[in-house]
Amino acid sequence: MKAFEGIHHVTAITSSAEKIYDFYTNILGIRLVKKTINQDDIQTYHLFFADESGSPGTDMTFFDFPNIPKGTKGTDEISRTSFRVPNDAALDYWVKRFAKYAVKHGEIKELFGVKTLQFEDFDEQQYQLISDETDTGVASGKPWHKGPVPDEFAITGLGPIFFRVSNFDYMKEVLEKVLFFKELAVEGQYHQFEVGEFGGNGAQIIVESNTILPRGRQGYGSVHHVAFRSKDRKNLDSWTERMQSFGLPNSGYVDRFYFESTYTNIYPGILFELATDEPGFIDDEESIDHLGETLALPPAFRNDRARIESLVRPIDTVRSTKVFEKEYLA
């Protein structure tokens, strides 16, 4: 059984599929690589934003559950998602970009010796950019070359994921004894954990110990789950057995068509998925040049396409016929 190879994806909840598409496409410059449905709730969109080709470790995905209330921030939740940028200079660019598009953001600060920039979207979903200036760990992805952000400043993948918990000792025990993470450093209430052979920004969790805030409540503006990478089905099955041996609630094997998965509640309020790298998002329905432009359905749902299309409103996500001008900001 191999340790995880880094972060696979993060899935969050949005109040509007249309608005999150606009925010990621036109402001963040991250490519929509798959427009599909929540396989457990077919009236709900599932949008996948990732690097140029939808590489594992670069996916930020969203559900738009109908009539879901806004989430409340608190403890015992996945509290913030990081995105990787190439270097420190890229953060200076993003300060200007966020100002131009009125995106609420903080100042450039260091955490664990690395420069970061916090920001949020229209739902108050919490993010940060993290510089890869000195990173030598898991490789990030490739920028969306046809997007509006210059390649030298563009977001390339996922960085450290933040957990905020009221019982740090239990969380630490699960991460270290069950999931093979190692604690690297501590800064105030923040604890840095890393996993895998290569580690680095693409394989880290930052755990914030907080016994003051009430428990967070999931809704739009909050994270649904985080997934880490498993090399293949054999390794995935070994991890499922390991989770079950520790008595952690587990889904067993789940085939998501674009990847294979297993889900485990590793801590109250924190859903942890393991997902395989293959087969990926380039399939028989969409070529790499047209990723995310049609409503893509896994084979098990295709005979029901007409009904599904009647349940989800159409969203125009065609970009192959558009030209995005690279925005260099003075």
196-225 pLDDT, tens digit each: 999 999 999 999 999 999 999 999 999 999
State the average pLDDT over residues 279-303: 84
Q: Which fold has domain 7-311?
A: 2,3-Dihydroxybiphenyl 1,2-Dioxygenase; domain 1 (3.10.180)
> Which amino acid would we find at residue 58?
T
Whole-number pLDDT of residue 274: 95
Q: Per residue in 217-247, pLDDT tens?
A: 999 999 999 999 998 999 999 999 999 999 9
Mean pLDDT of 171-178: 97
* pLDDT one-digit tens code per residue, 253-284: 888 888 899 999 999 999 999 999 887 777 66
> What is the predicted pLDDT for the residue at 41?
87
- pLDDT score at 285: 74
CA gap 71, 216 in Å, rounded: 7
pTM given for the model: 0.96
**Confidence grade of residue 51 (pLDDT, cut at 50, 70, 90):** very high
Query: 29-46 pLDDT, tens per residue?
Result: 999 999 998 888 888 999
What is the C-alpha separation between 180 and 70, in angstroms, rounded?
A: 34
pLDDT at 157: 98
pLDDT the model gives residue 254: 84
What pLDDT does 73 receive?
A: 96
